[in-house]
Amino acid sequence: MTERLGFGAASIGNLYREVSDDDARAVLEEAWAGGIRSFDTAPHYGLGLSERRLGAFLRERPRDAFRLSTKVGRLIVPNTGHRAGTDEANGFAVPDDHVRRWDPGLAGVRRSLDASLERLGLDRVDTLFLHDPDVYDLDEGLRLGLPALARLREAGLVDEIGVGVNSVAAAVRAVREGDIDVVMIAGRYTLLEQPAAEELLPLCQRRGVRVLAVAVFNSGLLASDTPATAHYNYGAVPPELVERTERLREVCARFGVALPTAALQYPLRHPAVDQVVVGTARTSSLRANIAHMRAIVPDELWETLREEGLIP
């Protein structure tokens, strides 16, 4: 099942904490040894640090042996006001010597791709996503960004184009209004909640659009067999979701299945979902994720979850 597991490289861009070059390389080595061959990054992740580290690793592998995606929409430009600060306000423990500038137009998208290829040290990526247009200006992003991506695909610069968003409504609009190949949806089709199931996934299935499910642990709520402190959408976890998580954990325990095993495998049961993408900078967590993907989950577990109203 590891061919359906992608590695998300935000963590090796110093997401929330500093990660050494050695530790970043070690987790990538672990991913490769475990059979993972799909990698996703973005300029946003550590102001280019993730791309540099991932590229240094992948340059040593045969180019046709892996698939690589990155993102556009945020240009990384020098910060003229840099005074030895950090980018922790944006979640990354890196110097804020550069800043992000929203630019979904054709020139900005092409410039962003060229800069990513330079940081990666590679001559191509396979998939290019418009990153978080719902965070900046969705109307402008879809109006300018999707045609710009289509131009790059038509020119043969990338094989696939898509959007990476948190919002189901934004993803639906992108599929309806653009000619895209893939949607990366974060946290909206998981064992805990499935708002993408009503409209987005059937729409993607009808149109032949691949879906990548990310943030399938819902900010850590589903990442452990024991209750853990977690956040939800960057805030406190609503009590009803705490209760739902515990009910999921209890049903999984009845069948001897780890909660994170069910969390990783559940999205893949929908025919529209091609892969789940998870990220970590810890080799122990990466090994655990691979083991969860390979674990056998009895059909009776899914049937019981349905019977108890915990999944559709």
Separation between Cα atoms, residue 272 and residue 14, nearest integer Å: 31
Separation between Cα atoms, residue 122 and residue 309, nearest integer Å: 47
Angle, alpha carbons 112-115-119 (nearest 5°): 135
Q: Which two tokens stand for residue 162?
A: 């898509």
Q: pLDDT tens digit string along 271-286?
A: 999 999 999 999 999 9
Q: Which two tokens stand for residue 197?
A: 């199931």
- At 217, the amino acid letter reads F
Exposed / middle / buried, residue 174 (Cβ in 10 Å: 0-12, 13-18, 19+): buried
pTM reported for the whole predicted model: 0.96
Q: pLDDT tens digit string along 37-85?
A: 999 999 999 999 999 999 999 999 999 999 999 999 999 999 998 888 9
In a domain, residue 236? The reply is: no
Q: pLDDT tens digit string along 77-135?
A: 999 988 889 999 999 999 999 999 999 999 999 999 999 999 999 999 999 999 999 99
In a domain, residue 269? The reply is: yes
In a domain, residue 177? The reply is: yes
Would you give the distance in Å from CA 51 to the centre of its chain?
14
DSSP β-bridge partners for residue 72: 130
In a domain, residue 254? The reply is: no
Q: pLDDT tens digit string along 154-209?
A: 999 999 999 999 999 999 999 999 999 999 999 999 999 999 999 999 999 999 99
Write the CATH number for 202. Answer: 3.20.20.100
- The catalytic residues are 45
In a domain, residue 28? The reply is: yes
Would you give the distance in Å from CA 99 to the centre of its chain?
21
Separation between Cα atoms, residue 201 and residue 206, nearest integer Å: 9
Q: pLDDT tens digit string along 20-38?
A: 999 999 999 999 999 999 9
In a domain, residue 104? The reply is: yes
In a domain, residue 230? The reply is: no
**Domain carrying residue 166:** 2-218+260-307
In a domain, residue 42? The reply is: yes
Domain count, the chain: 1
Separation between Cα atoms, residue 216 and residue 199, nearest integer Å: 19
SS3 state of residue 30: helix
